[in-house]
Chain A
Amino acid sequence: MDFSANHVGFVIASYALTFLCLAGLIIATLGRDRKLRAQVERLDTQRRKPR
């Protein structure tokens, strides 16, 4: 990869944009998964206790 080539800024920008969007998507998906499963766990233990 030659960093002094013409238009190299566009290449960097597209890789950076792809990285940011995909990283954001991954973090959002994993975060939602973790949060909701923890909530299910909590509700399950809460419901079992009184009985």
Chain B
Amino acid sequence: MQFLANPTRFLRIANAVLPYVWAITVALFAVGLYGALVTAPPDYQQGETVRIMYVHVPAAWMALFVYTVMALASAVAAIFRHPLADVAAKTAAPIGAVFCFLSLATGSLWGKPMWGAWWVWDARLTSMFVLMLLYIGYMAIWAAIEEPHRAAMVARVVALVGFINIPIVKFSVDWWNSLHQPASVFRMDGPTIAGPMLWPLLVMGLAYTFLFLALHLTAMRAEIAARKIRQIHIAEIGER
């Protein structure tokens, strides 16, 4: 009963909020893309190629953000045994994995004209690649364990251990990179970006965040429905 009580409240809120979240997402994307493709100036060094930044950087931000959401939800699930938290963690993973893939793929498309190679073992790329592996491993656990309650418990462990691992990987990869002295890799450090290039980036970041929110709420709603179907089926078997 407790399982049903909280999800119904969640569903009521999600149903009420979702149309607005989608509307805000569309509006933000419209403004962000206009800024990214029309008003933002081409870079004096990189030319038009710099426009890849407006889809690449937000994807990378979101890949990290979504994993944080996943780890937080897993921690809540582990401490308070709240089933909705497991649903939140489970449904966030595929969305985060798509963002992570996009950041790797667009980074590769940006790297080819800039560095002359599709893939460079640079510190950031390597940590992003490891993050992608963490996403794949997490989703594989959910896919491999049939019993949902057990899958949830194991997945919590995987998500939390992975979360502890992220800063260690980041640190170690930076260390490794400084040891191997890469041939001057292009850097884009925050404060040097000028205003006309900065605001479309921030708007795109917000647009991605709202897109995640909309997708996550929808996916959680679907997952709750899937669990309800499972419960109904189990109840039917019990009645027979």
Residues of A within 8 A of B (CB): 1-2, 5-8, 10-11, 13-15, 17-18, 21-22, 25-26, 29-30, 32-33, 36-37, 39-40, 43-44, 47
Contact = CB atoms under 8 A, between A and B. Distances in A.
17 contacts: A5-B47, A7-B113, A10-B112, A11-B51, A14-B55, A14-B56, A14-B105, A15-B55, A18-B102, A21-B98, A25-B95, A26-B211, A29-B215, A37-B222, A37-B225, A43-B232, A44-B232
A29 B56 CA distance: 22
B109 A17 contact: yes
Interface size class of B (residues with CB under 8 A): 20 to 34
Interface in B17-45: 37-38, 42
Chain A facing B: main interface SS: helix
Interface of B: 37-38, 42, 47-49, 51-52, 55-56, 59, 94-95, 98, 101-102, 105-106, 109-110, 112-113, 211, 215, 218-219, 221-222, 225-226, 228-229, 232
Contacts of B221: 33, 37
